[in-house]
Amino acid sequence: MARRKLQEINAGSMADIAFLLLIFFLVTTTMESNYGVSRKLPPPPDPSFKPPPVKERNILEILINRNDQLMIEDRLASIKEIKDQVIKHVTNFGKDPNYSESPEKAVVNITHDRGTSYKAYITVYNEVLRAYNEVRNKAALEKFGKPFDDLTDAQKQEIRKLYPQIVAEATPKTQ
Amino acid sequence: MSGKFKKKKEGGTPAISTASLPDIVFMLLFFFMVATVMRDTDRKVKVVLPFADQVQKLEKKQLISNIFVGVPIERYQKKFGKEPRIQLNDKFATVNDIQAFILSERNARREELRPLMITSIKADKDVSMGIITDIKEKLREVNALKINYATKKGDVEQNRE
């Protein structure tokens, strides 16, 4: 018997198959990626726990009302002022009696109404984060000569300890 | 000799070889497989995320549970009204369903991953903070403390529009 030559598989339809798969993936998937501002909530309140007293000067009060108007420490303010105020508050080191005693004690308190819009809240929270990131970045540059994002985890922890981010949120008053 | 220098009999342009077409298409295919993620749930509420620029990227999708908040899309407005609602998985829900949702999400993960879970709140930029506060309160009660407000990457000035 004569041996038949091994026949080559026709690869002409390979492109069609690949196109089919491609179109399937195009339809069923999305490009969206998850970005967002992270936050850690305080643990549920323990009824027997009494919060330690915090001095008035250590709290920077930011208030957003239901019309998305902004108040920092009892005076009307704009969004652009938040960052400078927070930086001044955190890096005061006890100089100005109206601001914090030290970065570890500095608290930023955001109070909002139930009617405040979500975007206003995010805007304010984003500005507070920006202030903290700027302060930490500066500290990282001074201490390690590198921006905060390029540090190792241990170094980041050290900076975080120097400038802890204490953002409190008051429970909004009902209506 | 004459055989070596035979003139081509057929003129015109030769056909373009399509042999590399599968390779090209496969390359595209792999690009899309890597760069995109599977669409997971049907959105029943309209969510336009606010902008923020101090953002972090959430890498591990398996650790994230999503809570959508927004106005129901038109198809559902007759039944559910035009007030912002919460969507968990594929269903409309109320604030009281959140705890059961978080517990079931927790049970679906391996034990060592449970402390790392993040709840991503994907809320429309125009909802009021009341509903968000209620959600956060419920999350605190079940100790789901790591949350993330989903935003688009961009200047906060764009939130004013």
- The answer to whether residue A52 scores a pLDDT higher than 60 is yes
User: How far, in Å, CA of A158 to CA of A163, rounded?
Assistant: 9
Among the listed ranges A42-46, A69-73, B139-143, which one has the minimum average pLDDT value? A42-46
Which pLDDT belongs to residue B6?
Answer: 62
Closest Cβ–Cβ partner in A22, A114, A123 for B32:
A22
Q: What is the pLDDT of residues B79-138, one digit of tens each?
A: 888 888 899 888 888 889 999 999 998 998 888 888 888 999 999 988 988 889 889 888
Phi, psi of A123, rounded to the nearest 5 degrees:
-60, -50
Q: What is the pTM (predicted TM-score) of this model?
A: 0.79
pLDDT band at A2 (very low <50, low <70, confident <90, very high): low
Whether the predicted pLDDT of A173 surpasses 70: no
ipTM of the complex: 0.76
Does position A87 have pLDDT exceeding 80, yes or no?
yes
DSSP calls for chain B = -TTTTPPPS--SPPPPP-TTHHHHHHHHHHHHHHH-EE--S---EE--PPEESS-EE---GGGEEEEEEEEEPHHHHHHH-SS-EEEETTEEE-GGGHHHHHHHHHHHS-GGGGGG-EEEEEE-TTSBHHHHHHHHHHHHHTT--EEEEE-EES-GGGGG-
- Percentage of residues in chain A having pLDDT higher than 90: 0
Residue B65 near residue B106 (C-beta atoms within 8 A)? no
Is residue B38 over pLDDT 50?
yes
Q: State residue B14's pLDDT score.
A: 81
pLDDT at position B77 is: 85
Q: Is B81 exposed, middle or buried (0-12, 13-18, 19+ CB in 10 A)?
A: exposed
CA distances, B161 to each of A106, A109, A119, B125, B129 (Å) = 33, 26, 10, 10, 18
Give the pLDDT score at B154: 84
Q: What would the mean pLDDT of A167-174 be, rounded to a whole number?
A: 70
* pLDDT per position as a tens digit, B65-77: 889 999 998 888 8
Residues B127-159: pLDDT tens digits?
Answer: 988 889 889 888 988 888 889 999 888 888 887
Q: Which of A126, A165, A175 to mutate to test the interface with B (most CBs of B within 10 A)?
A: A126
SS3 A72: strand
* C-alpha to C-alpha distances, B46 to A164, B65, B126, B141, nearest whole angstrom: 36, 18, 11, 27
Locate the chain A residue with the closest alpha carbon to B57: A35
Q: Which residues of A touch B54 (CB under 8 A)?
A: 37, 126, 129-130, 133
CA distance B89 to A159: 39
pLDDT tier, B161 (very low <50, low <70, confident <90, very high otherwise): low
Listed by number, the residues of chain B in 87-146 with a beta carbon closer than 8 Å to a beta carbon of chain A are: 118, 120, 123-130, 132-133, 136-137, 139-141, 143-146
Question: From the list A29, A44, A129, which residue is nearest B37 (CB)?
Answer: A29
Region A49-70: what's the mean pLDDT?
Answer: 83
Of A37, A130, A172, the CB nearest to B151: A37
Residue type for position A152: T
Sort out which chain A residues have CB atoms less than 8 A from B35's CB and list them: 31
Q: For residue B153, which residues of chain A lie inside 8 Å, CB to CB?
A: 35
> What would the two tokens of residue B119 be?
């709840």
pLDDT over threshold 80, residue A82: yes
- Which residues does chain A have within 8 Å of residue B156's beta carbon, measured at their own beta carbons? 79, 122-123, 126-127
Q: Domain map of chain A by residue range?
A: 56-129+166-170
DSSP for residue A73: T
Percent of chain A with pLDDT over 70: 94
Mean pLDDT of the region A116-144: 89
Question: A65 to chain B, minimum CA–CA distance in Å?
Answer: 11
| Tokens (6 digits) for A21 | 């798969």
* pLDDT at residue A172, as a whole number: 60
CA B132 to chain centre: 20
All residues of chain A having their beta carbon less than 8 Å from the beta carbon of residue B132 are 118, 121
By CA distance, what is B26's nearest residue in A? A18
In order of start, what are the domains of chain B with their CATH numbers? 45-160 (3.30.420.270)
Mean pLDDT within A44-73: 83
Strand-pair category, B51-52 with B85-88: unpaired
pLDDT score of A65: 86
CB contact under 8 A, B149 and A133: no
pLDDT surpassing 80 at residue A175: no
Whether residues B145 and A41 touch (CB distance < 8 A) is answered with yes
pLDDT at B11: 67
CATH number of A56-129+166-170: 3.30.420
Instruction: Tell me which of B42, B60, B149 to substitute to probe the interface with A (most A C-beta atoms closer than 10 Å).
Output: B149
